[in-house]
C-alpha cells in the first residue's frame, strides 16, 4: 500500500462529506475520572450506518465508478457494518449491492443492509465461508467483488483519524479495534501523514487473536475459530496487506475477553450514554486493562460502531 499524504486524506474527506458530516470526538469527564487519564472518544457510532466503515464505502465506490465504469454492481461478504456501508455507498452512485452474510447472522444488521438497498444472501457457517461464496457469486453474476481490505477503503476510513488528530493532535496513544484491519491501518496512515508521534495500539478479542499472534511472532497466524460476540473482531486470519501495515506501524496489540468487552459497553452507557457494539467497545476495554500505564496521559479510543442487537445489549446491560 502506498503511503497516504494529508492531501490524499483531505480529498477523501471532501467525498465523504457529500454523504455524511464529520463525527464528533469528545474528552468525556466521567471516563477521565474512572481511568485517571484524558479519554477522547471518536464517535464512529454516529455515522449514517452506525459504524466507521461507511467512509471507506464512499471512497471505494467513487474509485470503482472511475476505474471500472462498466460495472453494474458489487458483491461482498460481511457480518454487517461493511455490508451496510457498501449498500449505502453503492446506492448513492446507482450500483446494485449483493451482500453475503454467514447463516445465523444478526437479523438487525441484515435488516439494516436491506434498508440501505442491499440484497442479502445467507451462506456458510462463518465469515470466511461467506467470503468464498461472495467470490463465486461475483463470477456467476458479473459483479465486482469488494475485498474486506483495499487502499481506497483505508483512504476513506483515514478521514475519521484525520478528524480526531486535528481535534486532539497531542494524543499519547490511540486504541483501535482490529477486524480485517482497515481501521488500524487508517489510523497509522493519518498519524504518519500528519507527522505525529502518537502510538497506535491494536485491539483484538482473546477468542479471535490471530492479529495479535501474528504481530507477536512476525508471521501470519490463523486460529481455528473466532467465537466472540464482538462480531466485528471475529476474524480467523489477518489479511496480508493489512498485517504488513500494522506489523510496522502499531506499538503493540492487546487482547480483551468477552467479559471485558461487555464491561466496556456498560461503561460507555453509564459514563457517556452512548451505545457501543462489542467491537466498538473493545478499544475502551483495552484502555481499562492498561489503565495503570496510561495514568495522566492523553488517550484516544475509537468507538467504531453501535450496531448491537437488542437481545445482546439487553444481556450485557442487565
In CATH, what number is assigned to the domain containing residue 220? Answer: 3.40.50.1100
Give a yes or no: residue 59 inside a domain. yes
Give a yes or no: residue 98 inside a domain. yes
Residue 118 to residues 83, 97, 206, 299, 304: CA-CA distances in angstroms?
Answer: 8, 5, 32, 37, 21
Mean pLDDT confidence for 241-260: 98
Beta strand 96-101 with 298-303: parallel, antiparallel or unpaired? unpaired
The SS3 call for residue 175 is strand
Same domain, residue pair 10 and 156: yes
Same domain, residue pair 122 and 38: no
Mean pLDDT confidence for 277-305: 98
> Residues 175, 28: contact at Cβ < 8 Å?
no
Same domain, residue pair 43 and 83: no
Question: Residue 83 sits in which domain range?
Answer: 54-145
Same domain, residue pair 174 and 135: no
The residue out of 90, 122, 145 marking a domain boundary is 145
Beta strand 199-205 with 73-77: parallel, antiparallel or unpaired? unpaired
Return the C-alpha cell found at 16.
465523504
Active site residues: 53, 304
Give a yes or no: residue 1 inside a domain. no
pLDDT digits (tens, 9 = 90+) for 41-60: 999 999 999 999 999 999 99
The pLDDT confidence band at residue 279, using thresholds 50, 70 and 90, is very high
Give a yes or no: residue 188 inside a domain. yes
Mean pLDDT confidence for 197-222: 97
The residue out of 91, 124, 145 marking a domain boundary is 145
Give a yes or no: residue 165 inside a domain. yes
Same domain, residue pair 33 and 167: yes
Place of cell 447472522: 105
Rounded CA separation 307/318 (Å): 18
Mean pLDDT confidence for 259-275: 98
Same domain, residue pair 140 and 194: no
* Residue 170 pLDDT greater than 80, yes or no: yes
pLDDT digits (tens, 9 = 90+) for 58-93: 999 999 999 999 999 999 998 888 899 999 999 999
Same domain, residue pair 157 and 255: yes
pLDDT at 117: 96
The pLDDT confidence band at residue 128, using thresholds 50, 70 and 90, is confident
* Residue 154 pLDDT greater than 80, yes or no: yes
Return the C-alpha cell found at 206.
482473546
Give a yes or no: residue 135 inside a domain. yes
pLDDT at 308: 92
Same domain, residue pair 204 and 225: yes
Rounded CA separation 301/272 (Å): 13
Same domain, residue pair 129 and 185: no
Give a yes or no: residue 30 inside a domain. yes
pLDDT at 2: 83
Same domain, residue pair 204 and 293: yes
* Residue 221 pLDDT greater than 90, yes or no: yes
Return the C-alpha cell found at 202.
491494536
The residue out of 128, 145, 162 marking a domain boundary is 145
Handedness of CA 66, 67, 70, 76 (dihedral sign): negative
pLDDT at 145: 97
**Nearest in space to 183 (alpha carbons), one of 44, 49, 47:** 44
Rounded CA separation 228/312 (Å): 12
Domain count, the chain: 2
The strand order across the sheet containing 96-101 reads: 119-122, 96-101, 73-77, 144-145
Rounded CA separation 192/203 (Å): 20
Rounded CA separation 41/123 (Å): 35
Give a yes or no: residue 263 inside a domain. yes
Which distant-in-sequence residues (6+ apart) come within 8 Å of 11 by Cβ? none
Same domain, residue pair 138 and 79: yes
Query: What's the distance, CA 161 to chain centroid?
Result: 12
Rounded CA separation 31/42 (Å): 13
Same domain, residue pair 189 and 313: yes
Amino acid at each position: 500500500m502506498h503511503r497516504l499524504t494529508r492531501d490524499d486524506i483531505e480529498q477523501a474527506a471532501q467525498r465523504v462529506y457529500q454523504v455524511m458530516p464529520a463525527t464528533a470526538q469528545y474528552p468525556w469527564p466521567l471516563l477521565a475520572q474512572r481511568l485517571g487519564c484524558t479519554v477522547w472518544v471518536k464517535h464512529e457510532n454516529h455515522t449514517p450506518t452506525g459504524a466507521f466503515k461507511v467512509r471507506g464505502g464512499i471512497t471505494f465506490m467513487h474509485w470503482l465508478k472511475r476505474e471500472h465504469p462498466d460495472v453494474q454492481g458489487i458483491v461482498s461478504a460481511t457480518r454487517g457494518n461493511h455490508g451496510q456501508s457498501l449498500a449505502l455507498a453503492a446506492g448513492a452512485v446507482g450500483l446494485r449491492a449483493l451482500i453475503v452474510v454467514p447463516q445465523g447472522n444478526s437479523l438487525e444488521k441484515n435488516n439494516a443492509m436491506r434498508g440501505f438497498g442491499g440484497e442479502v444472501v445467507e451462506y456458510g457457517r462463518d465469515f470466511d465461508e461467506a467470503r468464498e461464496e461472495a467470490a463465486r457469486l461475483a463470477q456467476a453474476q458479473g459483479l465486482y467483488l469488494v475485498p474486506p481490505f483495499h487502499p481506497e477503503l483505508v483512504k476513506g476510513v483515514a478521514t475519521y483519524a484525520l478528524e480526531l488528530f486535528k481535534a486532539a493532535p497531542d494524543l499519547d496513544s490511540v486504541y483501535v479495534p482490529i477486524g480485517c484491519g482497515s481501521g488500524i491501518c487508517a489510523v497509522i496512515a493519518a498519524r504518519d501523514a500528519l507527522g505525529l508521534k502518537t502510538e497506535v495500539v491494536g485491539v483484538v478479542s482473546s477468542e479471535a487473536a490471530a492479529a495479535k499472534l501474528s504481530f507477536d511472532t512476525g508471521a501470519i497466524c490463523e486460529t481455528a475459530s473466532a467465537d466472540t460476540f464482538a462480531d466485528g473482531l471475529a476474524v480467523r486470519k489477518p489479511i496480508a496487506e493489512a498485517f504488513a501495515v500494522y506489523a510496522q506501524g502499531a506499538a503493540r496489540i492487546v487482547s480483551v475477553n468477552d467479559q471485558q468487552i461487555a464491561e466496556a459497553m456498560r461503561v460507555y452507557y453509564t459514563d457517556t450514554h452512548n451505545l457501543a457494539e462489542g467491537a466498538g467497545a473493545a478499544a475502551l476495554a483495552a484502555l481499562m486493562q492498561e489503565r495503570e500505564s496510561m495514568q495522566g496521559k492523553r488517550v484516544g479510543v475509537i468507538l467504531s460502531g453501535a450496531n448491537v442487537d437488542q437481545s445482546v445489549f439487553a444481556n450485557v446491560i442487565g
